[in-house]
Structure 1
Amino acid sequence: MIPISMEAYVNKHCKNNPGEEPNQLRESLKQAVKDKKNGAICINCGQEIWAIGSAIAYQGCFSCLTGEVDSSEDYEIDEVCWS
């Protein structure tokens, strides 16, 4: 995962999705980050959640939300990146 600040992600996401409400996205991200820090797991497979994906869809890991295995080119909020 590529670490990104919450504000940088909100700006990037909203630029690419003009109909998205930045404040709502920010609040959803804050909750997903809090959930991940508190040990939330994917409702499908039990792996740790992907905060960005969980803020937009539901509590899921990267693979369950995207159907992909390689997350090396995808973003995650920097404060929950462990490596």
Structure 2
Amino acid sequence: MIPISIISFVNKHCKSNPDEEPNKLKKRLKEAVNDKENGVICFKCDQEIWAIGSAVANQGCFSCITGEAGASEDYEIDEVCWS
């Protein structure tokens, strides 16, 4: 995963998704980061959650949210990115 700050992700996401409310996204991202730090797991497979995906879609891991196996080209909030 590629580390990105919450602010940078909000700016990037909202540029591509102009209907998104930046403050609401920022709040959801902070909640997802907190959940991940507290050990919340994927709703389907019991793996650790993907904070960005959990803030945008539902509380799940990268694979269950996207259907993809590899996440090396995708973003994760730097506070919880272990790579």
TM-score after normalising by structure 2? 0.98
Aligned residue number for residue 15 of structure 1: 15
How many percent identity over aligned positions?
72
Counterpart CA distance in 2 for 1:28 and 1:77 is: 12
Task: Kindly report which structure 2 residues correspond to 1:2-81, keeping only aligned pairs within 5 A, or say none.
Answer: 2-81=2-81
Q: Which amino acid aligns with 2:61?
A: C
The number of equivalent residue pairs is: 83
Counterpart CA distance in 2 for 1:14 and 1:45 is: 29
1:21 Cα offset (Å): 0.2
TM-score after normalising by structure 1? 0.98
Which aligned segments of 4 or more residues in structure 1 are displaced greater than 2 angstroms? Answer: none
Q: Which amino acid aligns with 1:23?
A: N
What residue ranges of structure 2 are gaps of 5+ in the alignment? none
1:74 Cα offset (Å): 0.2
